[in-house]
Structure formats: C-alpha cells, structure tokens
Amino acid sequence: MDARVIIAKLRDEERLSDEEITWFANGLANGGVTDAQAGAFAMAVLLNGLVKEERVALTRAMRDSGQVLQWDLPGPVLDKHSTGGIGDCVSLLLAPAVAVCGGDVPMISGRGLGHTGGTLDKLEAIPGYRCDVSVERLQAITASIGCAIVGASADIAPADKRLYAIRDVSGTVESVDLITASILSKKLAAGLEALVLDVKVGSGAFMKTMEDAEDLAESLVETAHGAGCMTSALITDMSQPLVAAAGNALEVIEVMETLTGSGVTPALWDITCALGGELLALGGLAADAGDGAGRIARALESGAAAEKFGEMVAELGGPLDFVERWPDRLPSAPVVREVPALASGVVRAIDGHALGLAVVELGGGRKREGDRINPSVGLSELAPLGETVSPDVPLALIHAATEEAADAVEQAVRAAFTIGDAHPTIPPLVHRRLR
C-alpha cells in the first residue's frame, strides 16, 4: 500500500478500508509513515471527518499496533477515563473503591495536558511513587491487590504515541475522531471488559460547550461499543473546580481527606460514586448504577478504599504508612498567600482555564515536554460558585516556591473570579448519561 493514496482518499472524502487503516496505523508505529504523511493524514481527518466504521477501525488498529494485555482474574477488568478538568482527582478514589467492590482496575493514566493536571503527576507528589513500571509489574500488582494506576509503557498503542505528537504540532488536536481513537486505543490495549468515561464540560474543561461535550461523548461510546468494550459516559460539570484545590500535592490532600473521612469533599464523593456505580453495573458487579453507587459509597465510608489505596501506594514504591502519615509525607510550598477579593459580593463565575494556567505558571504543570514539576505548588481554598466574598474573605490561597512566583499569578487568580450581587444558578454535577 501507499500512504499517499490513503491520504488522497481522505482528502477527497472517499471511504478507507479496514486494511488501509490498519496499514497506516502500523506505519505510524514502525516508522513506515513519515511525519509529513502523518500530519497530512491528521489534517484530512480533522477537515473531512471519519464515518463510524472508519473510526472504529482506526481505534482497533492503533490498539493492536502494540501489546494488548490478556488477563486471567476472578473479577471483571474495569477502568475509567476523564477528559480532564481543574481539581479532577477522581481516579485516586475510584480505582481503589472499585477494587474493594470486586473489580480489577489496571488504570493506565496520563500526565498533565495544557491547563489540566494529570493523574500521574498527582501520584508522583507522593514520595517514592513510581508510575513507570513494566506491563508484567502492572499485571502482578493488579492481580495481587486489584488496582494499579501507572503510565503507558512504550509497548502500549505506539501508533497513538506517534500520532499524538504529530497532532500537537500540526494544529489537529481538536479532531473528535482523533481524540476518540487516541483515548480508546490506549484504554482498550489494557484488555478491558468495561469502561466508564467522564466527559467534562465548562470553563475548566477542554470542551467548553454542551454541544461539543455531547459530540465527544457520543463518539467515544459508539466507537468503544464498536470495538467490543461495554462503555458508558457521564457528561459532568466543570464550570468550577471539582475540589477546592488545583495542584498536585494539594489535590492529593483533598483525596486523602475524603478517603479517610477527615474532610470529605461532597462533589468529589458524588462524582466518584456516580462513575463507580456505572462501572460496577457495566461489569456485572451491581444490579444497576444506583446499586453500584451505593457499593462505592460503602467502600469509601468503611475505610476499605483508603486501605486499598495505601496498598497500591506501597506496591508502587511509596511510603508503607502513607494512609496513616500522609500529612507528614506530602511536600508543602514555602510561600502561602491569600488572594483577597477587591470588593464584597457573590462568586458568579469561575474561569477554570485561567486557574489551571496559573498553576502551570507556578511550576505545577508543564509549559513544554520535559519540564520538571514542583508538586507542592498550586491553589487551595478556592471559593466556589455562590460563595460570598469580601476583602476579608480570600478567593484562594496561592502556594508558591517564592514570593516572586506568587506575585506573578496573584492578579490572574483574582481575575478568574467574577464577583456580582445576584446568586448564580449552580449547574448539576452530572448533566447527562450516555450508554
């Protein structure tokens, strides 16, 4: 086959065969397709789109371009994926809670992207935690304790790794077809039986409008079903941060407070139960999503999920006593500064994107690949929608490495909050379910 012919067919809106798509994906993985050809392919997909059958074929081909895990476990192999948002640390609760309920969760996660934090970056705020383990180690830990949150090895969906990098520099990141194939090829390479998707919508998400979020959610669910994986999606709200913090160690604090019951964040708890309930129902571990949500809640309430989280942290190199001693184990920033409101009023809107960029500017995210992250910096005590603030009631606390770093973001943090007189309408946490 010839990459030029495949690209020309996409350009002219002609259907590609499964064989052509598989050939191209293998060429991405083995270098047979050049960067220029990969960029032209991505641009043609962005401009003309793929039909359902092509999208399924691309997802399968990228999944099969590397190792696809095989399992022999007593429970169903389950996972969750979020499209990303500010203060979204659900995975750290959901994986151990689902494991307590009888699921096996080999969660292959990612690092921060743009203004949003990454699950792996949050976990690496825990001293010693290692995300870069072999496939064999991932399988051993999952079989032993029921869950492991790690990064993708080079053997998982190498075609996607190549195309992802090309999209980033070719102006094609926004393609729903390519987003769908990218997300699902990595997730399905883990050998999943069921998957739940958390598609975020709002100022702190990549999808700012409900229309865009619905398009992506429908594409993901339809394609996953076509590739043979039971899947549902929840479109959830990101018009404000999910927890009152943004930054790696600061979000782990929110997780640990909720896991241990010392300071439960209601929105984090509710979203975890909703997503976990869907997943248990898909995996046959609950009668329906409501029953599953109750089981997840009991795993959290009993402390069993916290114990399971501690086992996972220890298996992946973190402190053996992390659940008992987490306040002493997490790093803290030397500078903590209040950001007071300039006038009294009610928080009417929050620009989550701006808050995420402020965390990146503090050093809590990457401006370019390879940047080192400072896990201690970020924002905490973020005022929620509807909160009454004044010059005496701060909008947030900045955690910074230096006073100069705090100076650099203070105005941007303050400007991210719209203050007015009337109380806003608070959106529901879950907007829609797709199955």
Do residues 225 and 52 make contact, with C-beta atoms less than 8 angstroms apart? no
Distance CA 169, CA 238 (A): 27
Q: What are phi and psi of 420, to 5 degrees?
A: -150, -165
DSSP letter assigned to residue 316:
T
Q: Quick one: tokens of 115?
A: 């203004």
Active site residue 302: no
Distance CA 341, CA 343 (A): 5
Tell me which H or E stretch contains 201. Answer: strand 194-201
Active site residue 372: no
Triad 93, 97, 103: Cα angle to 5°: 130
Q: What is the CA radius of gyration of the chain?
A: 21
Do residues 144 and 334 make contact, with C-beta atoms less than 8 angstroms apart? no
Q: Which of 60, 115, 187, 329 is catalytic?
A: 187
b/e sequence 182-205, b meaning 16+ C-beta within 10 Å: bbbbbbbbbbbbbbbbbbbbbbbb
Instruction: Give the chain's end-to-end CA distance (angstroms, integer).
Output: 37
Query: How many Cα atoms sit within 13 Å of 220 on the Cβ side?
Result: 32
Distance CA 45, CA 55 (A): 10
Q: Report which of 363, 364, 398, 365 is spatially closest to residue 381, judged by C-alpha positions.
A: 398
Active site residue 167: yes
Q: Report which of 97, 189, 133 is spatially closest to residue 315, judged by C-alpha positions.
A: 133
Distance CA 57, CA 181 (A): 9
Active site residue 433: no
Q: Which of 59, 65, 82, 231 is catalytic?
A: 82
Q: Which of 60, 81, 161, 353 is catalytic?
A: 81
Q: Which of 22, 109, 116, 182 is catalytic?
A: 182
Q: Which of 167, 200, 295, 337 is catalytic?
A: 167
DSSP annotation string for 81-133: EE---TT--THHHHHHHHHHTT-BEEEEE---BTTB--HHHHHTTSTT-----
Q: Which of 60, 63, 122, 186 is catalytic?
A: 186
Q: Which of 119, 170, 185, 231 is catalytic?
A: 119
Active site residue 79: yes
Distance CA 354, CA 322 (A): 32
Active site residue 161: no
Active site residue 182: yes
Q: Which of 79, 104, 121, 177 is catalytic?
A: 79
Active site residue 81: yes
Q: Which of 55, 80, 161, 200 is catalytic?
A: 80
Active site residue 185: no
- For the annotated catalytic residues, the residue numbers are 79-82, 119, 167, 182, 186-187
